[in-house]
């Protein structure tokens, strides 16, 4: 059985514009993770500032919040064993130039400020729950058992 950990994954405006929603969802599904929520939306300035609060003192903060609010995003929640860390591995390094081929950023990105996807940081305890709560009410999340669960987990 999965430990039922949930994590937040968002296709950023560049990923949406480049038609990568399906590709990214497909990779997460293929890995065996279970979608627990999804929302196609455009972030406003307040949500962007809250979501990226840890970076508010950084020189790139204004560019980052301008970019993340510049177009629609696809916000999702995924459930599975060690989901936060597993997704971060699938995303690759923050800078696509350093991201390994085979990772989402390594396969679809070139530039640090256009790295296609966001995922909760597994090294920041509680980041997953905090980010999920920013984007989703409890009743917008669905707990369900995937038909292949017995074949995904020992």
Sheet of 73-79, strands arranged across: 34-41, 73-79, 6-11, 117-119
Instruction: Select 72 or 152, whichever has its Cβ closest to ligand IDP.
Output: 72
- Give least dist CB 42 to ligand IDP, A: 17
Q: Note whether 69 binds ligand IDP by CB under 6 A.
A: no
Binding mask 83-102 for ligand IDP (x = CB under 6 A): -----------x--------
Instruction: Decide if 40 contacts 111 (C-beta within 8 A).
Output: no
Active site residues: 118
Instruction: Select 1 or 71, whichever has its Cβ closest to ligand IDP.
Output: 71
60: closest CA among 74, 43, 47, 48?
A: 48
* 138-151 as b/e: b if 16+ CB within 10 A: eeeeeeeebeeeee
- Give least dist CB 119 to Mg ion, A: 8
Q: Give the Cα separation of 10 and 120 in Å (integer).
A: 9
Q: Closest residue (Cβ) to Mg ion?
A: 121
Among 90, 118, 122, 128, binds ligand IDP (CB under 6 A): 118
> 82: Cβ–Cβ under 8 A, 6 or more apart, which residues?
3, 5
Q: Of the ranges 38-46, 78-86, 108-116, 131-139, which one interacts with ligand IDP (CB under 6 A)?
A: 108-116
Q: How many residues bind ligand IDP (CB under 6 A)?
A: 9
């Amino acid at each position: 059985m999965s430990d039922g950990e949930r994590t937040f994954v968002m296709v950023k405006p560049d990923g949406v514009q480049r038609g990568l929603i399906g590709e990214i969802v497909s990779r997460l599904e293929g890995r065996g993770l279970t979608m627990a929520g999804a929302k196609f939306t455009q972030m406003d300035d307040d949500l962007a500032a809250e979501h990226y609060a840890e970076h508010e003192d950084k020189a790139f903060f204004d560019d980052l919040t301008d970019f993340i609010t510049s177009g629609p995003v696809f916000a999702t929640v995924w459930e599975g064993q060690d989901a936060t860390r597993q997704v971060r591995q699938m995303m690759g390094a923050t800078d696509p130039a350093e991201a390994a081929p085979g990772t989402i950023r390594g396969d679809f990105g070139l530039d640090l400020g256009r790295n296609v996807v966001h995922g909760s940081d597994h090294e920041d305890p509680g980041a997953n729950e905090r980010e999920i709560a920013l984007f989703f009410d409890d009743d917008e999340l669905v707990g369900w058992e995937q038909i292949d669960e017995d074949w995904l987990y020992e």
